[in-house]
Structure 1
Amino acid sequence: MPKIMFTNPHSDKSFAVWVEPWARDYWLLPGDVITLEFREANRVDQMPEKVDFDVAWHDDGVVVWTASLTEVAVQDRSGTELECGHQRPMES
């Protein structure tokens, strides 16, 4: 199964991972790890260069486009599936 992992080991700030095209956000606190994964059967050749993930970096995190027809599984280090908005900071 195609997967990609993101970590936030060397920062004292939260780090966002936005998963498109579903507009789902997941926030990593310092020391956190998350993995995005999808079933190979859900893969489509819609990405340039036939990659499984396309990652764009921003000041507050990354935007990840996947080659999956369906939503991807997002899990923490222990394998627990995370919900959209995981650890999202409160608006001030």
Structure 2
Amino acid sequence: MTDEVETITFSIDADGEETETVTVPAGLVDIVAEGDQSPTETLGDVALLSFASRAHHVVHHGEGSDEELEAQEARVMDLFEERFGVTFGEATGHQH
């Protein structure tokens, strides 16, 4: 059954230095897309959301952090707000 599920593969280029691919179910991309968002935009949103969520967890719920880690978390939260137009806390309902 799972072999019958259509997939989509994305290539991720890191400043021209290396490339990685990720394959996910195409229907899942459609489900999480907002409006007429393209699959690539959807993947970008999910990636940024994931990084923001992980950074938040490490800084606020992990076992200690330092100034550098807190600066990284603050920067990803700025990038999150720039992309989505709301803060991470507003988007997730999880604020400190």
Same fold by TM-score, threshold 0.5 exceeded? no
What TM-score do you get using the length of structure 1 for normalisation?
A: 0.22
- Decide which structure has greater strand share: 1
The structure, 1 or 2, with the larger RCO (C-alpha pairs under 8 Å, 6+ apart) is 1
